[in-house]
Amino acid sequence: MNADYDVFLTCGFAVDKFFGRKTCKLKYKGPMRHTLIFRLAYFWAMFILAVSGLSCAGLPVQEMSDARQAIASAKEVSAPQLASDEFEKARKLMHLAEEDLDIGNYQQAQKNAVAAKKNALLARDKAIQIKQQQE
């Protein structure tokens, strides 16, 4: 190593002894991997992972609301009597979604709520079709 430079191993920058200024000469010696650049890259990678993880872990509020509304609209057209299989499946899926929401399993709650909405809409459509055929 040149005697003109004093190296700070923690950040990897060389400081010129004579002029007292930082230079842009990075010193990578042997197993020295914890330089400022690597620390910043690691920080940003962890930050991005944390933000993306938090965005996926949100409460399925909209899906739960949509499923409840679909079940209520199916009840209005007598789906429990006319399309009992689909309506009962929607009701059970909604119950599972509420249980998953209570224990914090948000992804499964979202899947169950979407499936409950789908089955409730099928039950409603089937009930409407049966009513039209009876008339």
For the stretch 73-91, pLDDT in tens is 999 999 999 999 999 999 9
**89 plus 32 within the same structural domain:** no
As a whole number, the mean pLDDT across the chain is 78
**12 plus 77 within the same structural domain:** no
**39 plus 101 within the same structural domain:** no
**68 plus 126 within the same structural domain:** yes
Please give the Cα distance from 21 to 31 (Å, whole number).
26
Helices (H), the chain: 36-56, 61-76, 79-82, 84-103, 106-134
Please give the Cα distance from 116 to 67 (Å, whole number).
6
Number of domains comprising the chain: 2
Please give the Cα distance from 66 to 71 (Å, whole number).
9
* Residue the block writes with tokens 């909209």: 62
Beta bridge partners of 16: 5
Q: Which residue has the higher pLDDT, 128 or 19?
A: 128
Per-residue model confidence (pLDDT) at position 115:
97
pLDDT at residue 13 tops 60: no
**123 plus 68 within the same structural domain:** yes
**75 plus 128 within the same structural domain:** yes
Domain edge (last residue) among 14, 38, 56: 56
**81 plus 125 within the same structural domain:** yes
Range of the domain at 17: 5-56
* DSSP label of 105: -
**126 plus 81 within the same structural domain:** yes
Residue whose C-alpha is closest to residue 112's, from 80, 73, 66 = 66
Domain edge (last residue) among 21, 38, 56: 56
Per-residue model confidence (pLDDT) at position 22:
52
**69 plus 128 within the same structural domain:** yes
